């Protein structure tokens, strides 16, 4: 199971939100590169990099941060936030991202994302299925749609979808535990996908639980920044 620390960007700073609410922004560092380099020094191999400015605006804002981190670390980066067209996908890869995560555009223009799955391959295009009450959220989680996560995933599965990141918004940033029941339902229904958990992780025991339930990876944010989980504890999972 992959351990994937997260860096979320607003105004060039490393921040965390609660339930995706921009008004809850808490700044943890002024320099995201320094945080990425610290993660790598501690043993991380992967990084979840989110352009929250881009997610809100509907187009990528912080290209320079992606480029800076890819040039100055060996982390395998998945990048998201404001990806709206093929040019943006290609630019992310050109700047060194290993994967691009798409959410809003996948709901608004699914046919376009299906083309990307075919063109770039299902190892590079990851579906972001972020939910509230099992309904897909878009636009930096500012909008909750009427589409269920199960219909959302099923639609792309026919096009070869392999990787899905799922965040339960009500858990995000609260350090209140992961949505294991939701993940179990998704895996039971879609056994072929590689599911990555996100949101709510707050103690090391949860990682064993996720691993034992066939999760392919877990994104960890606030639990690292607030030292609820130490890198020493994470060592056996890295």
Q: Active-site residue numbers?
A: 8, 130
Give the burial string for 54-82 (b: 16+ CB within 10 Å, else e): bbbebebbbbebbbbbbeebebbbbbbbb
Task: Determine the angle formed by the axes of helices 110-120 and 86-94, rounding to 10 degrees.
Answer: 40
Q: What is the DSSP string of 149-208?
A: HHHHHHHHHTTT--EEEEEBTTTTTTTS---HHHHHHHHHH-TTSEEEEES---STHHHH
Q: Read off the tokens for 153.
A: 């995933």
Q: How far apart are the first and last CA of the chain?
A: 8
98 vs 162: CA distance, rounded Å: 15
59 vs 154: CA distance, rounded Å: 26
Compute the C-alpha angle 143/147/152, nearest 5°: 115
Cβ within 8 Å of residue 56, ≥6 positions away: 22, 82, 139, 140, 142
């Amino acid at each position: 199971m992959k351990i994937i620390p997260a860096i979320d960007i607003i105004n060039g700073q490393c921040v965390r939100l609660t339930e995706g609410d921009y008004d809850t922004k808490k700044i943890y560092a002024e320099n995201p590169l320094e945080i990425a380099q610290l993660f790598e020094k501690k043993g991380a191999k992967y990084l979840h990099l989110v352009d929250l400015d881009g997610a809100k605006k509907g187009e990528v804002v912080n290209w320079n941060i992606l480029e800076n981190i890819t040039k100055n670390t060996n982390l395998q980066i998945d990048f998201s936030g404001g990806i709206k067209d093929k040019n943006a996908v290609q630019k992310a890869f050109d700047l060194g991202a290993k994967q691009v995560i798409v959410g809003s555009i996948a709901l608004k223009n699914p046919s376009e994302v299906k083309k990307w799955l075919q063109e770039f391959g299902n190892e590079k295009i990851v579906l972001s299925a972020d939910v509230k009450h099992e309904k897909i959220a878009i636009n930096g989680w500012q909008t909750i749609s009427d589409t269920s996560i199960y219909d959302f995933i099923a639609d792309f599965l026919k096009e070869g979808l392999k990787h899905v990141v799922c965040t339960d918004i009500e858990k995000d940033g609260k350090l209140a535990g992961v949505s294991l029941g939701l993940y179990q339902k998704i895996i039971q229904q879609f056994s072929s996908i590689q599911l990555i958990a996100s949101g709510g992780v707050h103690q090391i025991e949860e990682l064993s639980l996720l691993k034992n339930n066939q999760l392919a990876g877990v994104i960890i944010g606030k639990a690292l920044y607030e030292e609820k989980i130490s890198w020493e504890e994470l060592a056996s999972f890295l």
